[in-house]
Chains A and B, each alone.
Chain A
Amino acid sequence: MKWPLVAYKVGLAIFFFVILLIAAMAVMPVLEGDISVEREGRGMDWSLENETITGRSSVWINNTGYLDFEKIVFDLDAEVLDDFHIDSTQRVGDISSGEEKKVDLIFSENLSEVPDDVKTHLLRYDTEVNVTVKMDGQYTFSLFTFTAEREDVFQWDAPFHDLSVSDVSYSQTPPEAEVDVSFENHYREELGFDITVEIFDPSGGVVGSTTETYTVPAGGSFHETITVEFSGELDHAIVRFEKEESGMSYEEEVEI
């Protein structure tokens, strides 16, 4: 055999072993569990502030393999009540070999984009939120590309969980109306809110109104009777709840 052909074949053999080596370098760390994506904590941290609903969670990506990760992108989708979705895309970028990186996954949606029935439900009831997290990425030079998709169910903790508003009872002497309100604050922190009770006459005119401000600690229960002075004939009342600094409100019409 001629030496140039021998050299060519040796070159091909070296190339072949380089390919095998690269494949082993990419696959072995995965099989040995050196590469991991782990969620920090078990739940999702929800907040309702500045007219925005926000969900936060964190994952740790540990790349102790031999090759760099590139173009890591997280696609997040939160589904509430089967028909409302909050989507988010986060570009993490590259994670070098040997690097460990914490990635904050954040959902965010302006309340003006949330349908009223969903907002009402989120205020009044603990709700399961289906969250799909999809991670795309690749090894150096697209040697391998990968997609990891995980579905989780996170609990949304309602600030006015199990809200109950009684019918209005009243007395003419003195002319006062009373409404009983109760709920549990399942929100992650102390709840500051306003309750406004407006009483209307049959023509729709306001004959009595009051606004009270309360705070309920996280996990606490609220039982209160709201008293309203009125003057005139009574027809119906509207009780409105507004969570401070959130822009979220809920109102309910009650009989007298």
Chain B
Amino acid sequence: MSEEKPTLYPILVGILHFIFFVVVVVLLISFVKDYFPGLRGIFQGTLTYVIIFGSLVALMAALTVYFIKGTKTRMFSGVMKAGSMIIYNLGIYYSLDITVERHDVLIGVDYPGMKFLVVLLLVLYAIYFVFEFILHRKDGEEDVEQDEDFDTRKNFMEKRDKRSNAAQDQSHWK
């Protein structure tokens, strides 16, 4: 059971991200298209971008939690996750053509300031993984550097279990 848990968690995280970034958004777009036919034209290939880049975000999210904190692979995949979220957002941004006709008025909307804020948020999110790497590496420097395989949740859990068992055996022997 303890061996399955670390593998299951990344899969769950990946599925949750896929639901949030792909399924919910696809349903939302389908709902808008079905119930507001006048707004159909605003989606110019948005579904394709959502499915491709949303899946990438889910994959990177699963990979990120698969690696343990304080490792370069975790930092790298975390930054890649934030990067894929930026691409996801920009893909949606550039595939939307928000032009609607209302009461004989053709209205076009763009949101460069909001786009900047979202990208800034995601850049700060990417920096979080660098920050996390620095903080966790300081504390767990010995463990991490001594063992090259010590970079996944699974390995980490196995090592931890072994140490815990060894400690228990030692206490019984005493």
Contacts and interface: CB of A to CB of B under 8 A. Distances in A.
A12 B121 contact: yes
Contacts of A81: none
Contacts of A15: 121, 124
B107 A146 contact: yes
Contact of B128 (A9, A22, A147, A151): A9
A144 B118 CA distance: 13
Given A12-B121, A19-B114, A22-B114, A144 B135 contact: no
A225 interface: no
Nearest to B98: A146
A128 to B, nearest CB: 16
Interface stretch (A47-55, A88-96, A135-143): A135-143
B128 A12 contact: yes
B131 A150 contact: no
B75 to A, nearest CB: 13
Interface residues of A, number: 27
Contact of B107 (A2, A4, A143, A148): A148
Nearest to B128: A8
Interface in A129-161: 138-139, 141-151
Interface in B85-140: 104-114, 117-118, 121, 124-125, 128, 131-132, 135-136
A145 B110 contact: yes
A5 B125 CA distance: 11
Nearest to B99: A147
Given A12-B124, A12-B128, A147-B108, A4 B113 contact: no
Interface residues of B, number: 21
B114 A143 contact: yes
Contact of A143 (B111, B135, B136): B111
B131 A144 contact: no
Contacts of B114: 19, 22-23, 26, 143-144
Nearest to A150: B105
A16 interface: yes
Contact of B132 (A5, A11, A12, A150): A5
Contacts of B132: 5
A4 B69 CA distance: 14
A138 B117 CA distance: 16
Interface of B: 104-114, 117-118, 121, 124-125, 128, 131-132, 135-136
Given A8-B131, A19-B117, 10 more contacts: A5-B128, A9-B128, A12-B125, A22-B117, A26-B114, A139-B113, A142-B113, A145-B110, A147-B106, A149-B106
10 contacts: A2-B135, A2-B136, A11-B124, A12-B121, A12-B125, A15-B121, A19-B117, A19-B118, A147-B108, A148-B108
Shortest 8 CB-CB distances between A and B: which pairs? A143-B113, A147-B108, A142-B113, A149-B106, A145-B110, A150-B105, A144-B111, A141-B113
